[in-house]
Amino acid sequence: MKKAIISFLISGALFASNAFAGAVFTTEEKDFTAGQMNVETQKISVEGRKMRMDHPERMGGKSTMIYRGDLEQVWNIDHSRKSYMVMDKRIMETMGRQMSEAMKQMEERMAQMPPEKQKMMKQIMKQRMQPQTPPEEAPSVLKDTGITNTVNGYPCKRVDLLRNGRKVREYWVTPWKNIGAKKEILEVFKDMGRFFEKMTANKRSSAMQKRKNPFSDLDKLNGYPVLVKRFQGTQVTRESLLKSVDKTELGRAFFEVPPGYTKMRMSGRRSKVRP
């Protein structure tokens, strides 16, 4: 009888562990850059080595980003067009080579132009490349201010992100245990961070290389940022507030491209190949 009870308790514990393998983080996003406050809701769902970010309605359509650590791919889904694009290291390397070859051909043609024409062409290229290739960011430093407060019911400490001595971001961080996140949930954030590091390691893709890994700070905070404030000078431009964390079984289909969606190449052309 005792063995039967113990067996029942063990199986029940295992079932409960498997039933709540995923978690959904709901955040409230405030944007102050348009001259007035714009409030939107975003959901980040994680399970195993998978992550899904559902973005709010923007530019007339809803979009989703799915990270598949098991496949080492990121899928960007446009629901309004019922299409998606795949991003992985191989694709970025191919794009990098194509960009390098195009630049080389352009330089060869420019070498045959008169000096005045070369100067004008270089200026035009610089202006066109500027939005795609932002200047390399200065090294950032995380500073534990020692300031504590309760944010949306979570005990938090304030950690500032400094760049060139100026605060560019303010994190209000709570320990992972306070949001009930297991080690596996933390690991998927770190796993995606490592994926972005691999993506930007390709020196041929200079634009990607100069973009900061968005998950690198999370790995160093030793907790989850309940509130994030982004600054431009002394003004807050954006705020992100954690509203809830819900444990749930998400299932395999949740991290798949919806049926009937068309795969697009990075160039915008259609492709019949699914991931």
Classify residue 11: in a domain, yes or no.
no
Classify residue 6: in a domain, yes or no.
no
Classify residue 219: in a domain, yes or no.
yes
> pTM higher than 0.85 for the full model?
no
Q: What's the half-sphere exposure (Cβ side, CA atoms, 13 Å) at 247? A: 12
Who has greater pLDDT, 3 or 93? 93
User: What pLDDT was estimated at residue 229?
Assistant: 95
Within 10 Å of residue 215's Cβ, how many Cβ atoms? 18
230 lies in which domain range?
20-92+131-271
Within 10 Å of residue 133's Cβ, how many Cβ atoms? 15
For 251-273, write each residue's pLDDT tens digit.
889 999 999 999 987 655 555 44
For 175-217, write each residue's pLDDT tens digit.
988 987 666 677 887 888 777 776 665 544 444 444 455 566 7
Classify residue 255: in a domain, yes or no.
yes
Classify residue 109: in a domain, yes or no.
no
Find the CATH number of the domain harbouring 193: 2.50.20.10
Nearest to 177 by CA among 194, 157, 155: 155
Who has greater pLDDT, 74 or 103? 74
SS3 of residue 166 by DSSP: strand
Classify residue 118: in a domain, yes or no.
no
Classify residue 114: in a domain, yes or no.
no
pLDDT tier at 93, thresholds 50, 70, 90: low
> Looking at the 3D structure of the chain, how many domains does it have?
1
